[in-house]
Chains A and B, each alone.
Chain A
Amino acid sequence: MKETRLGEFEEVILLLVGILEEDAYAFKISDEFEAQTGRSVSIGAVHSTLNRLSEKGFLNSEMGASSPERGGRRKRIYTITALGHRVLTEAKDFRVSLWNQFPGLANG
């Protein structure tokens, strides 16, 4: 899993892209990140991660619609690819399997 490994931040961003659906562009994602985690993050940091995830093939992107508060500029909307989905699932399964082996909390 060397190239497809996800960092914690990457995983959260990937999930947020999934949650936000057609609103998944850098500003909204960073806004949502701050709302959900209470941690502040710069748009640049989010953008850089989105860019990296796209390079790894977990995200696709295309230019979307423009809006007046953006000065008429378009936004880049990100969507999760099939590979991205699989990596997210693997990450989750891996955690679950670890939780199941954790004696203090294993239910059984």
Chain B
Amino acid sequence: MNTIAYFKERFDQFQPGEDQGGLDKLRGQAFQTFSQMGIPGSKHEEWKYTRIAGLFNKEFQLPADPLTGIVSPDDLNRLRLPGHEATNELVFVNGFYSFSLSKIRSTNLQVLALEEAADGEFRGIVNQWLGDSSHYQKDGLNALNTAFVHGAVFIHAGKAEHIEHPLYIYHITDARSVNILSQPRSLMYLSEQAHAQVVENYATLGSNESFTNQIMEIIVEQEARLEYYKVQNDGSNTNQVSTTHIRQIGKSFIQAVTISLDGGLIRNNLNVILDAKNCEAHLYGLYFQTGHSHIDNHTIVDNVKPNCLSNELYKGILNHQSTGVFNGKIFVRQPAQKTNAYQSNKNILLSDTCSVNTKPQLEIFADDVKCTHGCTVGRLNEEGLFYLQSRGISEKTARNLLLSAYASDILDQIKLLSLRGWVEKLINERLEKELS
């Protein structure tokens, strides 16, 4: 059965219950889009270097309903990140938000089912912003997630609320018995002057293959502040397409850090829409890939309004047969005068079998702007290695030092200390292993 036919059958069976808040219409439209576009192939410019169509030849089960109890609190315990005692924990299992496993510690944070939000006081927000990412991700995968929106979550931070505990979002896929396709979805709204920290993490249980097609959309209001972290350290039997879409609708500050350490195939879409004057956005990324893994970071910084600042730095280390892809787009629309946009991508290739494809792309329609981008691909600096070795430091330690320093530019941007400590530990272990 071809992929579209399979999903068509699933969509026809799909009964999320009575229509609440007009989500059915959105699903229907999205499914229409999906049937037209299908799974993007390598002819799709945005998917030129990341081939996912072949994955769908494997049988992936799309769970219809949250299967309660498959992931036990014990399972979750093993997956929890350090410092979780002082966090708000939001747990998705196979793409469905689990109220029983999640724990909200901050009283000023509202987390409710999307259906409930769409039917209640947040109806306006949900109607306006759910699916906003589809304007940027024009492919079948984005539509596929929207078509099956169910068990999604709406996160709201009220006016001037500073969410004390960071939000740790765990996307758990239980592939212990079959291959699973999970499609978590969340919508977050940061009201005026609200502050929040968000961490997304992914884990797969079992040895079957998993495919996570996740979307998180975040709307940031006037004077709000968002710190967003995505940490990917999953097994090699996993595939991930993870979209984070941030729209700044008032002058605000956001910072997004994406750390990709492991996983079979990872595609990250990070969109930042600077949709108000005087917005500031910082995008950082670090990827360290080994084995046969594939990492693809696609970022879009869309400058819609004037006087915004964006800064982007992505660094990568590739080893073995891994492949890396970076595509950074900066759009500066005609009204967005006085935009300052910077972008840089640096890659270090450790083995002679890894490869990298990078495409830093600028599209500029305003003249009073300062935009630069740059990218480099190379090896470790031989002079640096020699300098250290001539001072009695072993080659291995020297390499380790140089690579740690290289990574620290990004790691220093992680402001959650417990998270930073954990990521640093992972990277040090990795370096130790790779360089021995």
Q: Indicate, yes or no, whether A interacts with B.
A: no
- Interface residue ranges, A against B (CB under 8 Å): none
Interface residue ranges, B against A (CB under 8 Å): none
